[in-house]
Amino acid sequence: MPVKPRKILVTSALPYVNGSPHMGHLVGYLQTDIWVRFQKLRGHDCLYVCASDTHGTPIMIKARELGITPEALTERYGAEFERDFADFGIEFDNYHTTHSPENEALTVEMFEALKANGDIDTRPIEQAYDEKEGLFLPDRFVRGTCPNCGSGDQYGDSCEVCGATYSPSDLIDPVSVLSGTTPVKRESEHYFFKLGNYETKLKAWMQSAGLDRNVVAKLDEWFDAGLRDWDISRDAPYFGFRIPGTTDKYFYVWLDAPVGYPASFKNLCDRRDDLDFDEYWRPGNDTELYHFIGKDILYFHTLFWPAVLEGSGFRTPSSVFAHGFLTINGQKMSKSRGTFVKARSYLNHLDPSYLRYYYAAKLGPTIEDIDLNLDDFVARVNADLIGKLVNIASRCAGFIGKRFDGRLAAALPDQDLFDRFASESETIAAHYERREYSKAMRLIMTLADEANRYIDERKPWIMAREENRGAEVQQVCTQGLNLFRSLTIYLSPVVPAVADAAREFLDENRWTWEDAQRPLLGSVIRKFTPLLTRVETDPVNRMLAEGADAGTHG
């Protein structure tokens, strides 16, 4: 059943490019890429943009340590992210940088609009200052004991144990992470965004956005605690955009970072005549806008960002989709434990399709963490992708190639079975739409079991040795290959490289979601070559060893 085309703009959280991409990063980008590929397969006009998040003191400090400019640092790591994303099959319609003229222009436009509304205030504040380093410390460069729950070694802006948010001055026994000295307090004039002005509108947006119930519960906590004014400025020295009319004040990175979403899209619009920026970013249009993020940046994306957009004349997101963190073998990624794995370390040893499938088999629409259990990873990929999916094609293709010159039968021997696979199309689509990937994978693999049972019961390898059963062999194998084809179409957002290879083998130009409901009959297919090989434990161990080695030497 054809669906009405939608116009959708999708973003992933912008990676902060002060280090190399790792396996944890990939959870969000693969989740997003699968959703975007599904939307495109359904025939929707879906665009996916992203950018490197490049500003702030951490970038400035890291560049200083390496003896290079912040621009050179962010270009180096930004290129690394782009390369690794591409090698994992993540396809952006545009990948930009927040250190861009588009981003600066939009940030200034939003700031001036908020100022005209009376939403910007200035007042002196006391800040943590590192006298040894000679600079004001960003919140995360101060650590100490949480004033709320008493947990030690917590960041200066929020507690990882109890989730409380606060300022560095609230910490007990604060220490600068740069010099190890106790910061002093210094006064400085800062700009503030009056977030509380938008409480009513934010609550209305929250109701319309269809947020996950755990996200809603967190928002309710923040509303109950009261929305505080948000400090949107930082003092020189700082790598970022200078606030107009000042000489030593800069926009805080968390103001201009989300502006990277419309800025990246603006950069795309300037290169494409068929796109209208206002259609996607101004109110009153029926386009859809979705942000995929990690649960650690909920506050910025569900409070500050919608309020800034609302106050500056831009449209608010249709929804914000948050995911959890990644653990490896049940533990947080850690260099000392040998569970810190760079994205490139994985790519050096293993096929990206394995990880795409494994993450999909674990991912749902909630903010629960997912675990990359490496024993389970090997077992599940081998059982599902190799033992179930690819096995269907490898059991049928040889007979069609050798005995029938690659020609499929003109009819299916069991139309009802094919129709049963086709009838699950909308259920699987609904799972993808709701980001219930694990449910979609389970249903697809249940169907794969049925397809394998069908072949087991008919035993074309025995029929092929019997006289006058050639037509049956052709029909049974045509049936099997059509079931394989439908399943591969359903899986193509998750394992696009496997789907592309399967489509070439079946000699088809492109697939749409509806093709899974139309059998391929009477056509000539190409010679079958293995689509995937089994995962072995040796390359998995080599990947872990490479990660541990990087931890020791890097």
Where residue 439 sits, what CATH number does that domain have? 1.10.730.10
* Tokens 């020791």, residue located: 552
**What share of the chain has pLDDT > 70, as a percent?**
98
Please, what's the largest Cα pairwise distance for the chain? 94
Does residue 244 fall inside a structural domain? no
Nearest to 367, CA basis, from 430, 297, 442: 297
Instruction: Say if residues 258 and 106 touch (Cβ distance below 8 Å).
Output: no
Nearest to 475 by CA among 400, 403, 395, 412: 412
Q: What is the pLDDT of residue 549?
A: 64
| DSSP code string of 359-411 | HHHH--SS---EEE-HHHHHHHHIIIIIIIIIHHHHHHHHHHHHHSTTBPPSS
Q: List residues bridging with 319 in a β-sheet.
A: 290
Which candidate, 496, 358, 442, 532, places its Cα nearest to that of 33?
496
Do residues 174 and 139 lie in contact, with contact meaning Cβ atoms separated by under 8 Å? no
* The predicted structure's pLDDT at residue 456: 97
Residue 326 phi/psi, 5-degree rounding, is -105, 135
The Cβ of residue 148 has, within 10 Å, a number of other Cβ atoms equal to: 16
The 10s digit of each residue's pLDDT in 87-109 is 999 999 999 999 999 999 999 99
pLDDT of residue 499: 98
| Average pLDDT score, the chain | 95
Q: What is the per-residue pLDDT for 4?
A: 80
Predicted TM-score of the model (pTM): 0.93
Would residue 437 count as lying in a domain? Answer: yes
Alpha-carbon span 459 to 521, nearest angstrom: 21
Dihedral angle sign, alpha carbons of residues 21, 316, 43, 324: positive
Q: What is the pLDDT, as a whole number, of residue 554?
A: 34
- Any idea what DSSP says for residue 53? B
pLDDT tens digits along 106-124: 999 999 999 999 999 999 9
- Structure tokens belonging to residue 225: 């605690």
In a domain, 445, yes or no: yes
Summarize pLDDT for 258-303 with one digit per residue, the tens.
999 999 999 999 999 999 999 999 999 999 999 999 999 999 999 9
Residue 553's pLDDT is what? Answer: 35
**Is 339 among the domain residues?**
no
Domain holding 440, by residue range, is 387-517
Q: How confident is the model at residue 13 (pLDDT cuts 50, 70, 90)?
A: very high
Dihedral, CA of residue 47, residue 48, residue 54 and residue 55, to nearest 10: 60
Residue at 526 is within a domain:
no
Q: Which of 118-122, 167-171, 494-498 has the lowest mean pLDDT?
A: 167-171
Any domain includes 428: yes
Number of domains making up the chain = 1
Tokens of 394: 């490898």
Contacts of 131 (CB under 8 A, 6+ apart): 181, 184
More confident position, 169 or 26: 26
Asked whether residue 66 is domain-assigned, the answer is no
Is residue 79 included in any domain, yes or no? no
* Residues 6 or more apart whose Cβ sits within 8 Å of residue 457: none
pLDDT tens track for 56-83 = 988 998 998 899 999 999 999 999 999 9
